[in-house]
Structure 1
Amino acid sequence: MPFVEMSISLEGVSILLKIMVTGKVVAVGNFSRYIEDSRKEAIELISKLLGVTIEEAEEEVNITKGLTVRKAWLKTWWSPNWKSKPFTYPPVQCTERAFLLYLLSYTLFVDKSGSRVSIALLKLLENLDDVGNYAWGATALAYLYCQLGSATRVEVLQIVRYLTLFEGWVYEHFELRFATSNAKYMDQLQPRVSRWIQKHETVNVGDKLA
């Protein structure tokens, strides 16, 4: 049975994505300005939490010219075939952080760069046992509303953020011919957005952040 709401609410996020909408606030320190102190902190954070050397972390920050890392670079830490040099697996927890950061960059925190992810998110993954205690759903909704507001401006040509949430809400509330039901959907196991087959490939974040 579809649920009825005039706009996307926290309850709607919980139903559609099956991730927490209450819990610890998703907040990080100030990584918005590329100054020497924040650059140094970012390099140390990458080295400590992803298990790379200070030199490797500094090289990556120099390449991106910001407080970010490349998604392709993150993927090398659990996909050794991406590397031409001999590969040594980092500690398991570091690999988990790299994967979760990669996942967040393609789901809840998609941005217009398309290829990079902010180091600020890495701070949230320092304690892996605490990842499931954050209000990821509330943050995803706030992030989406912020972008929807920006998208109403006449000079804005693109819209980003986790649009799977927006699409799922639309499919639930409007009868659209291009919304195809997913015959393999299992209500107790999958997020409600999985009821619909979308035109583009998406990554369901529910099971990873629940």
Structure 2
Amino acid sequence: MTTGRRPEPRAVLATALGVVGVGLLVVAEWQRLLRDRGRVDPLLVVLMAAGVLVLIGVVFGWFVRRGRSRHRVVAGLRPGWTLHEVWADESLGRELVAQGVWERGLSLAGGTRFTLAWSASGVELWRGGRAPHEVLSLPWHAIASVTEGSGYAASSARPAVVVSTVAHATLVLVPCARLSGGVLPAGAAQVGGLVAAMRCARGEH
């Protein structure tokens, strides 16, 4: 397994600064409205609301493109492997530590995106955009079971793939509806199919 981590793209900083900037504008405008309700500028309020919606769309689009870039790169690095985009459950950070892996920057609420890869050799987790890095690599003999469960990826409970290791780590991953990523989570039936495919690759019948 590997624990190295490459720097995040500059787009992360640009997105963060954009969010902070819009947030400051919203706060300033609401303060002005509270001080002087008699002189509300409807056009300014509408423009600010539109700006926030556009920013949200840009952020979502950036995350989707980032995941698809990672997916393509990992597919090239692991020909013949099966790949599926997933979100981390809120517990993944500490469970990786239990497995002996320290990965910085994981959200405590879950929702960090990864590419889950598997083959007859084992299971891997990849993170990053155009230059992804391997977060975890486990041969099948290091995995105790692969089951269905539920996970919290910065949301309410969603159907999840649960990978339990012989080192007593429980890796809970919430799959996307599309294998290449997106904004919708997979349903229970689709997650069941992913679990069955992983078990088949492991040699379970």
- TM-score bracket for this pair, using the shorter chain length: under 0.3
Higher RCO (Cα < 8 Å, 6 or more apart):
1
Which structure would you say has the larger Rg?
A: 2
For normalisation by structure 2, the TM-score amounts to 0.27
Bigger fraction of residues in strand = 2
Bigger fraction of residues in helix = 1
For normalisation by structure 1, the TM-score amounts to 0.26
